[in-house]
Structure formats: C-alpha cells, structure tokens
C-alpha cells in the first residue's frame, strides 16, 4: 500500500470513528433532554419511585406516608426521631424540583428515579 492510499484509509477510519462518537454523544443528549410523561426534561423526566411495583422500594420499605411504615421500623436514628426522618433531610437525597405537585429529588439508592421529599426508607441517613 502506498503512502497516499494509507493516508486515505487512516483519514477514512478517523472520520468514521469521529462520526460515530458524535452520533453517540447526540443520542445521549437527546436521551437526557427527552421529556417525561408530564413533559418534564432533565432530571425531572425520571419516573417517581412506585412503592407498589419497585422491588428495591419494597425491600427498603420505601413509603410516601410515615403512617404506613411498620411500627417496628419507626425508630430514632442518629438522634433523629422517626417522625422527623424524611428524604429531604437524608444524606442520599438531592432536591431537583416539583413533579406531579410533589417536591422531588434524586436518591443514591434509586438511581434513575425520583423520590418524594417527605418519603422515607430504611436507608435513611442523617444529612451531614
């Protein structure tokens, strides 16, 4: 293979690779900007954790209503009484805004989903 032919192939491979990377980046950008069911974009497009169907939520006794949490789980942690333990003051929570009339945020435990700020689960950990 002479030099100009090799240069042509190297350039062609480079262009194809560059094009593929660009397509992947654009697809990711579109995926992140895709609106949720309520038309939200960005982090708010993620679905809310559904304690009725989400196996992790069920394993962690996730609840949007403290009154429904089993009595034996309603214990003080790190000096905080159970009644004051909510996602909003949990170290795993980061608020992102309003969705379906609720203040919501991300939670490290539920990647790709949103939790309601007044919810609770057994992984509650006092925010530093």
Of 26, 58, 32, whose CA–CA distance to 45 is shortest? 32
Residue 64 burial class via C-beta count within 10 angstroms: exposed 0-12, middle 13-18, buried 19 and up: middle
Is 93 one of the binding residues for ligand SF4 (CB under 6 A)?
Answer: yes
Element (H, E) at 75: none
Residue closer to ligand SF4 (CB basis): 45 or 104: 104
| Gyration radius of the chain's alpha carbons | 23
Is 115 one of the binding residues for ligand SF4 (CB under 6 A)?
Answer: yes
Q: Which of 45, 51, 62, 63: binder of ligand SF4 (CB under 6 A)?
A: 62
Least distance (Å) between residue 36 CB and ligand SF4: 19
Contact letters (x/-) for ligand SF4, 69-88, by CB under 6 A?
Answer: ------------------x-
d(CA 121, CA 125): 9
Number of amino acids touching ligand SF4 (CB under 6 A): 13
> Residue 113 in contact with residue 48, Cβ under 8 Å?
yes
Q: Which of 43, 99, 104, 124: binder of ligand SF4 (CB under 6 A)?
A: 124
Residues that bind ligand SF4 (CB under 6 A): 62, 87, 90, 92-93, 107, 109, 115, 119-121, 123-124
């Amino acid at each position: 293979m002479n030099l100009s032919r090799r240069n042509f192939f190297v350039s062609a491979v480079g262009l194809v690779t560059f094009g593929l990377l660009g397509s992947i980046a654009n697809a990711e950008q579109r995926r992140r900007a895709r609106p949720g069911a309520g038309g939200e974009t960005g982090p708010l497009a993620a679905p809310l954790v559904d304690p009725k169907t989400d196996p992790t939520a069920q394993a962690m006794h996730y609840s949007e209503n403290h009154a429904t949490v089993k009595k034996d789980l309603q214990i003080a942690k790190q000096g905080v009484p159970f009644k004051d333990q909510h996602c909003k003051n949990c170290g795993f929570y980061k608020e992102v805004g309003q969705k379906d009339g609720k203040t919501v945020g991300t939670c490290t435990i539920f990647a790709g989903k949103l939790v309601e700020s007044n919810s609770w689960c057994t992984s509650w950990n006092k925010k530093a």
